[in-house]
Amino acid sequence: MKRKSLTQFLIEQQRSECALPADVRLLIEVVARACKAIGHHVGKGALSGVLGSLTTENVQGEVQKKLDVISNEILLEANEWGGNLSAMASEEMDTIHPIPNPYPRGGYLLLFDPLDGSSNIDVNVSIGTIFSVLRMPADADGREATEADFLQPGRQQVAAGYALYGPQTMLVLTVGTGVYGFTLDREMGSWLLTHERMQIPADTAEFAINTSNTRHWAPPVRRYVDECLAGKTGPRGKDFNMRWVASMVTDIHRIMTRGGIFMYPWDAREPGKPGKLRLLYEANPMSFLVEQAGGAATNGQQRILDVQPQGLHERVSVLLGSKNEVELVTAYHAEG
- Residue numbers in the known binding site for substrate are 116-119, 210, 276
Phi–psi pair at 172, nearest 5 degrees: -115, 130
How far apart CA 148 and CA 145 sit, in angstroms, is: 8
Residue-by-residue DSSP string for 181-215: EEEEETTTTEEEEEE-S----S--SEEE--GGGGG
How far apart CA 109 and CA 170 sit, in angstroms, is: 23
Q: Are 207 and 238 in contact (CB under 8 A)?
A: no
| Binding site as annotated, residues for Mg(2+) | 91, 113, 115-116, 282
Helix-then-strand count for the chain, H and E: 8, 17
> Which sign does the torsion angle of CA 145, 314, 155, 260 carry?
positive
| Binding site as annotated, residues | 91, 113, 115-119, 210, 276, 282
Task: Measure the CA angle with vertex 172, ends 168 and 177; round to 5°.
Answer: 150
Other CB atoms within 10 Å distance of the CB of residue 14: 16
